[in-house]
Amino acid sequence: MIKIKKNNPLVIFLVAAGLLLFLHSTSLLNPIENLFWLAVKPLATGLYGWGESFRNFYTDSQNQVDLNAQVARLVKENAALMVVNSQYRETAEENKKLRSALNFNAANNFRGVVANVIAKEDSSEDGRGLVINRGTSDGLRSGLGVVSEEGIIIGKIVEVKVATAKICLTTSPNCQLAAALQNEDKTQGITDGDLGLTIKMNYIPQLQKIGPGDPVITSGLGGDIPRGLVIGKVVKVYNASNEVWQEATIEPPVNFDNLTVVSVIIP
């Protein structure tokens, strides 16, 4: 026969559980149960709120991680699009300049070699200069005139190698061009650069009538530069009564800082 100890914990638990179930079924425990729930309700509410706060915090944190990842991806895509757009605009601008240069050469029956500016040089002695990616292998030689995409003469070749050439700009000292004014007297003279900023036209006879606004072009005399290339226009005239010659300041109609494509004129 199996003996059951009176102090057995299992027996005590089973008896207590049975008693509680009996009392609950008879509603005798309702007052006690109501008091118990009133006591633990604030704790339960707090625990529930804490759980909701933790869940919301975890959800917000996860959403923030996802948002940061999305922002990083969009920033990366935007940078890539900026590069593509920049390359497209640069190519379109270069193609536009190339077409302008080719159209100018064709319209004037010039044989021109289109070149890209690959370097810019500044020195106290020679002033400003450009280096292009064309040379003797392309038929270039010193003394040839160089024009912008619009057809404005911007200088001439002063040094040439196999694949490159150096250009002195019309605003640079010692970059001289034979020039003529489009005025009544068709005045002729020599242009020279002035400190890399403007152009001076010297050796103009005192009796010649010149004034601001007169166009200045190449005269075509003495060299390989054809007549009729626009140099600029007169903005100021210096004429002292005791001098043999007049002098004019000429402003070029092109911004030399923006030159990227030029054309070398081969007569």
Rounded to whole angstroms, the Cα distance separating 135 from 118 reads: 13
**pLDDT the model gives residue 166:** 95
Residues ≥6 apart with Cβ < 8 Å to 202: 189, 190, 191, 192, 245, 247
Same domain? For 118 and 203 the reply is: yes
Does 137 share its domain with 249?
A: yes
DSSP 8-state secondary structure symbol assigned to residue 199: E
Q: Is residue 148 part of a domain?
A: yes
What pLDDT sits at residue 108? 64
Asked whether residue 122 is domain-assigned, the answer is yes
pLDDT digits 0-9 by tens, 147-201: 998 888 999 999 999 999 999 999 999 999 999 888 888 888 899 998 778 899 9
Instruction: Say yes or no: 16 and 127 in one domain.
Output: no
Residue 82 located in a structural domain: no
Residue 81 falls inside a structural domain = no
Based on the domain organization, do 243 and 115 belong to the same domain?
Answer: yes
Beta carbons of 248 and 236 less than 8 angstroms apart: yes
Task: Look at residue 243 and tell me if it is in a domain.
Answer: yes
The predicted pLDDT at position 200 comes to 94
Q: Are residues 142 and 219 in the same domain?
A: yes
Per-residue pLDDT of the chain (267 residues; tens, 9 = 90+): 444 455 566 656 565 556 556 555 565 556 665 565 566 566 666 666 666 666 666 666 666 767 777 777 776 666 666 656 655 565 556 656 656 655 656 666 678 899 999 998 876 555 678 999 999 999 999 999 999 988 889 999 999 999 999 999 999 999 999 998 888 888 888 999 987 788 999 888 888 888 899 999 998 887 889 888 999 999 999 887 778 888 999 999 888 888 999 999 988
**Can you tell me whether residue 173 is helix, strand or coil?**
coil
Beta bridge partners of 202: 190
- pLDDT confidence of residue 2: 45
Q: Is residue 222 part of a domain?
A: yes
Residues 47 and 125 in one domain: no
In a domain, 77, yes or no: no
List all residues 6 or more positions away from 166 whose beta carbon is below 8 Å from its beta carbon. Answer: 121, 129, 130, 131, 157, 158, 159, 160
The three-class DSSP label of residue 169 is strand
In terms of DSSP H, where are the helices of the chain?
9-25, 30-107
Confidence at residue 1, expressed as pLDDT on a 0 to 100 scale? 44
Answer yes or no: do 239 and 143 share one domain.
yes
pLDDT number for residue 182? 87
- Would you state the pLDDT for residue 242? 77
Q: Are residues 52 and 145 in the same domain?
A: no
User: What is the CATH classification number for the domain harbouring 124?
Assistant: 2.40.10.350
Residue 117 and residue 53 in one domain: no
What predicted TM-score, i.e. pTM, was given to this entire model?
A: 0.62
Domain that holds residue 156: 108-266
pLDDT of residue 184: 81
Count: domains in the chain: 2
Residue 107 has a pLDDT of: 62
